[in-house]
Amino acid sequence: MKKKQTSKVGYYQTLFKLLRIMRLTLGLLLIVVMQGWAVKSYSQRTTLTLDMRNARIVDVLEEIENQTDFYFLFNYEQINSDKTVDIKLTNSKIEETLNVLLKGTGLKYTINDRQIVISRDGSAGLNLLMQQKIRISGKVTDTSGASLPGVSVVVKGTTNGIITDTDGKYILSNVPPDGTLMFSFVGMKTQEIPVTGKITINVVMTEETVGLDEVVAIGYGTVKKSNLTSSVSKMTDEAIKERPITNVSEAFQGQLAGVRSQAAKGGVPGEELTIRIRGLNTINGDSSPLYVIDGVPRDNMTDINPGDIASIQILKDASATAIYGSRGGNGVVLIDTKTGTGKPSITFDAYYGWQTREKTLNLMSGPEWVSYNMYYRNLNYLRAGGSMSDPMSSRATSYAYPDSWSTTTDFTDWQNAVLETAPMQSYQLSASSKGDRSSLYFSVGYLDQDGIVLNTYYKRMNARLNGSMDISKKMRLGINMSMTHSDKDARSTTQSNGKESPLHHALMISPLMTLTEGTRDWGTPSAYEVGSTYTNPVEQLKHTTDNTRYLRAMTSVYGEYDIIDGLTFKTQYSFNYDGSSYEFYQPGNVTYNNGYVTKGNSNANRTTDWVAQNTLTYDKLFNGHHLNVLLGQSAEKRKYYKIYAEATGWPYESIETLNVASTAVSATTERTTYANASFFGRVSYDYKEKYLFTASTRYDGSSRFGSNQKWGLFPSFSAGWKINEESFMDTMDWISLLKLRVSWGMSGNDRIGDYEYMALLDTYNTSWNNVLVSGVAAKNIANEDLQWESTKSLDFGLDFSALKNRLQMNIDYYINTTDNLLYSVPIPYTTGFDEYTTNVGSIRNRGLEVDITSRNITSGAFKWETELNLSRNVNKVLSLGGNTDYFTESSYDAKFITKVGGPISQFYCYRTDGFLLSSDFDDNGNALVPIFSGQEEGNYKYVDQPDANGNTDGVLNSSDLVPYGNNLPDLTYGLTNRFSWKNLEMSVLIQGQFGGDVLYLGQRHNDSGMDGRTIYSRWLRAYKPDYEGLYGEGENPVPTEYNTKHNIDTSWDGKTPNPFGLNQNNSDTRIYDATYWRIKNITLSYTLPKNILRTNLFSSLKCYVSLDNVKTFSDYPGYTPETSSFGNGTTRLGVDYSTYPLSRRCTLGVNIVF
Amino acid sequence: MHTWRKHSLLIKNQNKMKNIAIPKISILLLLSFLLTTSCDDFLTTVPESAYSTEGFYESESDFEYAIAGVYSAQQELFNGTTFFRFTIGRSDDTNVMETNTYMYGGDTFTDGDDCSALETAWSDLWIVISRCNAILDKIDGVDFDDTAMKNYIKGEAYALRAWTYYTLSISFGGMPLIDTELSVEETKKVARSTQEETFAFVEDDYKKAIDLLPASWTGDNLGRITKYAAEGGLARLYMFQSDFSSAKTYLKNIIDSGLYGMEEEYKNCFTESNENGKERVWEVQFCGGESGEGQNFSGASVQEGYSGDLTPFSGASAAMHASTNLLAEYEDGDLRKDITVATGLNINGILEEYYYFIKFMYYSTVPQSTEDWGINLPVLRYTDVLMMYAECLNEDSYVAGGEAFSIINKVRERAGLGALTSATVPDQDSFRKAMIHERRIEFAYESLRWPDLVRWGIAKDVMTTFLQDNDEGAGIYSMDGDYRKIYAIPGDEMSRYSDETVMWQNPGY
């Protein structure tokens, strides 16, 4: 207990300090920014008031320094005298002041912005130097001729510099005639221009699209992209802007080699996509990467405003991720948000769009349903010994159907009824500015997206403030703050129990049920009249609340101090709040299978965490040797709290909250704490940027592991050789970069529960004599040796760039082996427990990644650029430890197997080999081939699998289940083409995958041939034995008359089995190839030319049309083959169980800069 | 300790630069972290909302919670349909139309080792055993103020472990005999014993329990296992082994206790309002009113889509039906039929011809959800005690019009049926037949029929005949061998062991 208290005190102390710092920083920030925005020069606008008697000149100068930002340079000997002056001035300008002060002293002055040089008239020294220096002016423009404000102009090797003004103009004094001016601007190529006596230097800045001199973040530091020795991908806001991206993860699709972004839950508004980097490195369940947002480690990037993102970098190999040690094993996503740049400007972004379903399932129409169910009931009657010639009235109700079926035209298309065209809109206003000592960016954004399933929605408000300032030449301070509120309602379409989703019900409900039936108050028609009914899904979607609200606040402050040249200390402290509240309410009128009892539950949770990080960086260049050393420490603590309450039975349904419910079911709270502490270091060395080496290590401690295994060490090494820098390559100057890389490293994964190494007790209550009694028992087995999962990765890379960087290519081949897999291993039930969290076995991911960027046409009005990325990953389980070589999982009637030698999570099912035909039965109807009992002609024929010796046992049973197919694709790709013609731009993104499989679990209900429900149309054309042969002449159950009238074809399509008898659901017939390609996005944008704007109000205006999810090409019968309904469970991948359909979006947008 | 060295290294580096003005704030931040936390303390987070097993099992109240945890595990087994599908569904009392869907062939003798429902029952049973072992391992080392309670809790643990091993053994054969807490690796080394050895273990446990348990409980403790419940369990074990003389001794103890009696009305053997009454020797306790302690077996006795008065809810998918064979067994005028089964139920608007079991649907607290049935489920009814006793008497020797007759006639009288006489039941064997008939009807849907068929040695014959019925597949199925008296060890458990020298499959499967 004592220990806990100590750390608590520390926690509040630091927190308190943080708050004080924040206040101080904010105050300072505002002052500096206000100064930065003024237009007049400092000496012009500064005035001072002096009233001094008998003061020495030095004293007066000191007072001026106190009152203003001016500072004086002078030779103390020269001006030091006992002579005193009386000076009295009010609101006087500096020149005026100095003229009065220095009159008759023989001293003169020169003002350079805030610097004032005082020298003795006629003396050499400083004065002489001054005279030799010159004043240079000029204008900086971009390639289109527009002036560029905010460009930094510095005399190389000095701190003497200035920023261009609003017209892109600058005047820089005090420049040595033989000096060099450096012009730099974010996103532009830095230029160095020798002065050589010129007094006017105009510069045209070019955009840094080439990317070779681009800087890439690598975790606690940056490196020039061309000098990378590890595998890092970068994505800029190109992929985000001018697209209706509602959350950042959507932008990942098709953009980066080695990064798979999967809409695992379909198109639910506000749902984050699943991101996987270089395959699956764990079987534990969570293969999500670590997210580092503005330097702060996070578990996800939910609700980050896409509009605030400046760049995203993905660290892929372990030599890059090892610096994040225990949490880098699944890759690291570094997200940097925008910072203030340029002159003060305001940007307004807005779009409005419409979403429609991307696909409609090919389900039975009303008449088709009637035809099928007539056939089904007729046949059931025949099978029970009846005859088609009997009058309908003689049939029992379960075999009969109403006469009205033949004539009705009153059908409901339930799929249409629950899907709609949904609007979406987004507005963002941001302001950005960079002065000479500070920069500031802030933004507010609002997104409002309706889902295409009735009444589902997502709304989000974001605000962000990023600021930094230079306190002195050596010290910089900064702050990043963001606040997000989101509100979404999925109307219980995403619950894990897919079969109870209103969306799923809508797909299987009978078309004979009308929109005004199927609730408690309206009543439900009988099965005899309409077939299968469910609670009216339209009403359910209307009245169910399934609402989640998030409030997230992230604050981080940092300070940097240049201790000596090249040595920088950085400290960063961040505090984050992550709160959510959830409410579920379903009025009894529309509950499913719960006796019309109103049910509700609610939970709220909050996670608060703080992260402290301190780093020391030393960077030195000497004689071509470049050394960069990083040392660092970090600590993190996260606290989680949750409250949950549930109730049933509301007296009235007009109020949704639990306080008015009649029966409280449960109320609980829960708390957990997680702590992480680390020390890390990195040494990078290169010689003339030709030979490059990096080594790093992180020593990480986590509270999640057993006392014997709290700490782990994660080293890495990498090297690169820029062959193009060698002299023998001099003749091939068309190659601008040819670099070989090799790296090896280790990183880990600690994504398990917080106390899994401990044996914990849980409550297992009972009752005696109808009184509740509290019971307690162990819920798991302790494992003090529980430790990190560690991924060792070897990466070979080739970076190539040629034809003045018009063609760039990166190729990587990697082998990742993950050992000590964290897994809840199934253990014998005789232990009294089901599983045991431990480290077992290893898996390997091997893969190849290719990124190609080609600027096909660069000159002239028409430009064309192509980006292609390809990734292939092969996943293989190498061992599962102990004496087990596989384990299986099941959900509903689907089974999965993870087996040594195969990939993670294969489907585990019966194989089929065509159909049982009449030739498979003898004259007595006995099967000649192995069948499941109950199987008939026309059912699927299942394969009796041979055992290890190649013998079949002639019986179909669980020994015939085999691994078949898996969800991991063979190859994923993305292809972006950008065209521009004058001010018109177009980009087309195509994205897809080859291979991989998806299991259509919705098949259980709407594609298994059952009667009553709405099912796929194909069942009309199911296999039909010779009924007249079986039941006698005229005994045909197919309603031919009705079919003729409605033009319904019931001949066998060669693919659909006889629905009678027995077909095993758990077979290969519902596993589909997940290969697809999709026109993901087409954007057309037009920037209004300056001369058309004819106003100074905007500096640019751009309009665009963007189409998302234009079309998906695949053979899959469900909504989307991309899905994985059981989400993160890596051993149950690739299941589609009533997935929310993807939406096609068409948006119109505008981007205005003021 | 090495972690501390790292800290000091960092501090030293900073000290080297003491002449340099490092921002004070950063130093403070760094120091505040370093000073207030030593790393290992920092990384030791204590669970704040879960008890750790460390420090548990140390006081009297710990064991009171722990024994409730064992009862909870037994409740779990009885809550739901999976366990009952196998204790009830395998017999000739239920129709076999559920083949391959929910019974996994358990009713048609086509079951293999891949039955996930049976796996759930298997797992639940072993949880009961492990919780008993945890108590029995530690209770002797703890002082109780209430020493009687210490004995009672031990007795309950022995009785529940005995009942569980008995249930496992008659369902799956000989079991690994684990009577203490073992590690995963140790558990994997304990091989299956024979069914006889397991029965001997059960006998031993029951005897220990009988010595420790109270004759009855009062107040809020009513419903806990008593000495007589344990004696009844032991008697049932002897009956299963046809050791009638041993069984008789214990059954007589129960009868002589004077604590029990038959309910005057058959229905009251099941109604919620007569729970823990004179008929109920041992029942698994449930409690409604959304206490979280309800069961859903009762509601699952009728088909999903049901609407009517029996239950406020729809039932479950694929509820078991009474077989026509069972219905035919009822004598005319047997009052028990309408209490046990019902037909013409409205399922999705269609009046079904099937008979569903409604025995466990006589609630008095209206269930609020499908999981909220507060009706207790019987393990041992007093009528069963009497009937087993009658069976023992008859096995001892047939006495025309003797005590055995008076017992069976009391049961028949309650059912509105006429008495048996030595004229209609003239000898020992015909009395056996009468007993077979009477037990079937009296205990239909109470999980006793199948073990009875097995212990009488008539399972194969009865089931083969039964499966000839037109409604039961007309001979497609048969009980193809005595090996099917027990089920296959769940295949999943086999792979969890992956060692057939320890956990081997039952022959025939």
CATH of the domain at B66: 1.25.40.390
Q: pLDDT per residue over A923-952, tens digit each?
A: 888 889 999 878 899 999 999 999 888 888
- Over 90: is that where the pLDDT of A644 sits? yes
Nearest CA to A189 out of A201, A206, A204 is that of A206
Distance CA A752, CA B158 (A): 37
CB-CB contact of A888 with A897 (8 Å): yes
- Of A963, A924, A960, A966, give the one whose Cα is nearest residue A941: A960
**Helices B227-240 & B147-172 angle (0-180, nearest 10):** 20
Do the Cβ atoms of A913 and A941 come closer than 8 Å? yes
Residue B261 lies in a domain: yes
Which of B20, B350, B496 has the CB atom closest to A527's CB atom?
Answer: B350
Hey, are the CB atoms on B350 and A755 less than 8 Å from each other?
Answer: no
Residue appearing with tokens 């000495």: B227
pLDDT of residue A16: 47
Q: What pLDDT shows up at residue B21?
A: 42
What is the reported pLDDT for B16? 39
Report CB contact under 8 Å: B223, A768: yes
A241-270 residues touching B, CB cutoff 8 A: none
Question: Using 50, 70 and 90 to split pLDDT, how confident is the model at A977?
Answer: very high
Chain B partners of A635 at a C-beta cutoff of 8 Å?
Answer: 33, 37, 42
Specify if B72 maps to a domain.
yes
CA distance A1066 to A1085: 49
pLDDT score of A756 more than 90: no
Cβ <8 Å between B184 and A827: yes
In chain B, what residues touch A768 (CB-CB under 8 Å)?
A: 71, 217, 220-224, 285
CA A725 to chain centre: 38
Say what the ipTM of the complex is: 0.90
DSSP string, A1079-1093: EEEEEEEEEPPHHHH
Best-predicted range by mean pLDDT (A65-69, A887-891, A1147-1151): A1147-1151
Nearest to B41 among A7, A762, A830 (CB): A7
Q: Which structural domain, as residue segments, surrounds residue B230?
A: 4-291+377-497
Would B506 be classed as within a structural domain?
no
Distance from CA of A597 to the nearest CA of B (A): 7
In the three-class reduction of DSSP (H, G, I as helix; E, B as strand; rest coil), residue A652 is classed as coil
Residue recorded with tokens 């001018």: A242
**pLDDT, average across residues A676-681:** 93
Q: Which of B365, B388, B507 is nearest to B438 (CA)?
A: B388
Is the Cβ–Cβ distance between A868 and A880 less than 8 Å?
A: no
Per-residue pLDDT at A92: 82
Which of A595, A826, A933 minimises the CB distance to B496?
Answer: A826
CA distances from A410 to A515, A650, A1006, B340, B348 (A): 11, 35, 22, 44, 21
* B58 Cα to chain A: minimum distance (Å): 13
- The answer to whether the CB atoms of A769 and B190 lie below 8 A apart is no
State which amino acid sits at residue B354: Y
- Tell me how far apart the alpha carbons of residues B428 and B391 are, in angstroms, rounded to a whole number: 10
Q: Is A768 on the interface with B (CB under 8 A)?
A: yes
- Provide, for chain B, the percentages of residues in helix, strand and coil under a 3-state DSSP scheme, each rounded to the nearest 5: 50, 5, 45
Question: What is the rounded distance in angstroms from the CA atom of residue A535 to the CA atom of residue A927?
Answer: 42
Closest CA relative to residue A256, chosen from A325, A324, A334: A334
Domain count, chain B: 1
Please give the C-alpha separations between residue A525 and each of A364, A515, A532, in angstroms, as whole numbers: 20, 12, 9
* Confidence band for A428, pLDDT divided at 50, 70 and 90: very high
Residue B351 counted as domain residue: no
Closest CA to A127 of A75, A181, A171, A64: A75
Cα–Cα distance between B275 and A580 in angstroms, integer? 45
Residue B316 belongs to a domain = no
A385 touches chain B (CB under 8 A): no
Q: Which of A881, A877, A788 has its CA nearest to residue A826?
A: A881
| Helix spans in A941-1086 (H) | 1003-1006, 1027-1031, 1040-1046
- Average pLDDT for residues A16-45, to the nearest whole number? 47
Neighbours of A927 (CB within 10 A): 16
Token duo for residue A60: 């007066």
Residue A924 forms contact with B (CB below 8 Å): no
Q: Of A598, A708, A770, A1063, which to mutate for an interface test with B (greatest number of B Cβ within 10 Å)? A: A770
**What integer is the mean pLDDT of A365-388?**
93
> Which residues on adjacent β-strands are paired with residue A453?
A419
The residue among A524, A596, A768 with the most chain B CBs within 10 A of its CB, best to mutate, is A768
Q: Which of residues 679-738 of A touch B (CB under 8 A)?
A: 679, 699, 701-703, 707, 710-711
pLDDT of A343 higher than 90: no
Instruction: Answer for the pair A581, A548: CB distance below 8 angstroms, yes or no.
Output: yes
From B391's Cα to the closest Cα of chain A, the distance in A is: 32
Does A635 reach chain B within 8 Å, measured CB to CB?
yes
Locate tokens 């000739």: which residue? B92
A831 and B67 in contact by Cβ < 8 A?
Answer: no
Q: Are strands A422-434 and A345-357 parallel, antiparallel or unpaired?
A: antiparallel
Separation CA A558–CA A228 (nearest Å): 26
Nearest one of A98, A10, A113 to A50, comparing CA atoms: A98
The whole-chain average pLDDT of chain A stands at: 86
B124: distance to nearest CA of chain A, Å?
A: 8
CA of A1000 vs chain B CAs: smallest distance (Å): 19
Residue A108: CA count within 13 A, CB half-sphere: 9
Query: Min CA distance, A40 vs chain B (Å)?
Result: 33
Nearest CA to A327 out of A704, A860, A755 is that of: A704
B356 part of a folded domain: no
Q: How far is CA B143 from CA A777, B57, B131, in A?
A: 20, 11, 20
Cα A688 to Cα A621: distance, rounded to the nearest angstrom: 9
Å between B420 CA and nearest CA of chain A: 37
Q: Within a domain: residue B321? A: no
What percentage of chain A has pLDDT greater than the value 90? 48
Query: What pLDDT does residue A187 have?
Result: 67
pLDDT digits (tens, 9 = 90+) for A1035-1054: 999 999 999 999 999 999 99
Q: How confident is the model at residue A210 (pLDDT cuts 50, 70, 90)?
A: very low
What pLDDT does B14 receive? 38
Residue A765: list chain B partners with CB under 8 A.
Answer: 68, 72, 292-293
Please state, in angstroms and as integers, the Cα–Cα distance from residue A182 to each residue in A36, A163, A205, A753, following that order: 21, 11, 11, 53
Q: Cβ separation of B314 and A778 shorter than 8 Å?
A: no
Helix (H, G, I), strand (E, B) or coil at B339: helix
Of B443, B449, B465, B439, the C-alpha closest to B90 is: B449
- Give the model's confidence band at A607: pLDDT under 50 very low, under 70 low, under 90 confident, else very high: very high
List of residues 6+ apart from B388 with CB closer than 8 A: B235, B236, B239, B247, B251
Residues of A within 8 A of B223 (CB-CB) are 767-769
Contact B22 A884 (CB under 8 A): no
- Over chain B (509 residues), the average pLDDT of each successive run of 10 is 33 38 48 54 81 85 95 91 83 75 79 82 95 95 93 97 97 96 92 97 97 94 96 97 96 96 95 94 92 90 86 82 93 95 85 90 89 93 97 94 95 95 94 96 95 95 90 83 92 88 92
Give the count of beta carbons closer than 10 Å to the beta carbon of residue A565. 9
Residue A208 has pLDDT above 80, yes or no: no
- Residue A744 pLDDT > 90: yes
Query: What backbone torsions phi and psi does residue A987 show, to the nearest 5 degrees?
Result: -130, 145
Closest-CA residue in chain A for B36?
Answer: A10
Residue of B nearest to A13 (CA): B32
Q: Is B477 close to A933, i.e. CB distance below 8 A?
A: yes
- pLDDT value at A5 more than 60: no
> Are the Cβ atoms of A886 and B286 closer than 8 angstroms?
no
Check CB contact of A527 with chain B, cutoff 8 Å. yes
pLDDT at A1151: 92
Whether residues B17 and A670 touch (CB distance < 8 A) is answered with no
Higher pLDDT, A20 or B140: B140
Helices (H), A408-484: 414-418
Q: Which residue in chain B is spatially nearest to A400 when comparing CA positions?
A: B350
Q: Which of A133-142, A819-828, A962-971, B159-168 has the highest mean pLDDT?
A: B159-168
3-class DSSP state of A170 = strand
Q: Is B462 helix (H, G, I), strand (E, B) or coil?
A: helix
Answer yes or no: do B368 and A649 touch at CB < 8 A: yes
Is the distance from CB of B391 to CB of B239 less than 8 angstroms? yes
Residue A39 has pLDDT above 70, yes or no: no
Residue in B29, B187, B287 nearest the CB of A830: B187
Q: Could you tell me what percentage of chain A is helix, strand and coil, using 3-state DSSP and rounding each to the nearest 5?
A: 15, 45, 35
Residue-by-residue DSSP string for A488-523 = EE-TTSS-S-GGG-HHHHHHHS-TTS-TT-SBTTTB
Phi-psi region of A287 (alpha: psi -120 to 50; beta: other; left: phi over 0): alpha
Quick check: A764 and B182 CB within 8 A?
Answer: no
B434-441 LR contacts (CB < 8 Å, sep 24+): B434/B408, B435/B387, B435/B390, B435/B391, B435/B394, B435/B408, B437/B329, B438/B387, B438/B408, B438/B411, B438/B412, B439/B387, B440/B93, B440/B326, B440/B329, B441/B329, B441/B330, B441/B334, B441/B336, B441/B415
CB contact under 8 A, B287 and A648: no
Q: Given this model, what pLDDT does residue A144 score? A: 66
> Shortest Cα distance from B396 to chain A (angstroms)?
38
B83 touches B74 (CB < 8 A): no
Distances (CA, A) of A664 to A646, A648, A660, B368: 6, 7, 10, 11
Closest chain A CA to residue B178:
A830
Name the residue among B503, B479, B477 with its Cα closest to residue B489: B503
Structure tokens at A546: 């399934």
- DSSP strands (E only) in B221-297: 280-284
Nearest C-alpha of chain A: how many angstroms from B246? 30
The partner residues of A349 in beta bridges, in order of sequence, read A428, A1151
Model confidence pLDDT, tens digit, residues A215-254: 888 888 888 888 888 888 888 777 788 888 888 888 888 8
Q: Which residue of A has its CA nearest to B116?
A: A890
DSSP codes of every residue in A550-592: EEEEEEEEEEEEEEETTEEEEEEEEEEEEEEEEEEEE-GGG-S
Percent of chain A with pLDDT over 70: 92
What does residue B10 show for φ and ψ, rounded to 5 degrees?
Answer: -65, -40
Cβ atoms A87, A55 nearer than 8 A: yes
The token duo for A652 is: 């009235």
Q: Are residues B68 and A957, on separate chains, in Cβ contact within 8 Å?
A: no
User: Is residue B159 a contact partner of residue B228, using CB atoms and an 8 Å limit?
Assistant: no
Q: Which of B46, B133, B219 sits opposite A4 (nearest CB)?
A: B46
Number of Cβ within a 10 Å radius of residue A910: 24
Q: Which residue among A528, A675, A890 sits closest to B349, beta carbon to beta carbon? A: A528
B508 in a structural domain: no
For an interface test with A, the pick among B348, B373, B478, B492 (most A C-beta atoms closer than 10 Å) comes out as: B348
Q: Does A12 touch chain B (CB under 8 A)?
A: no
Mean pLDDT, range A396-400, rounded to an integer = 85
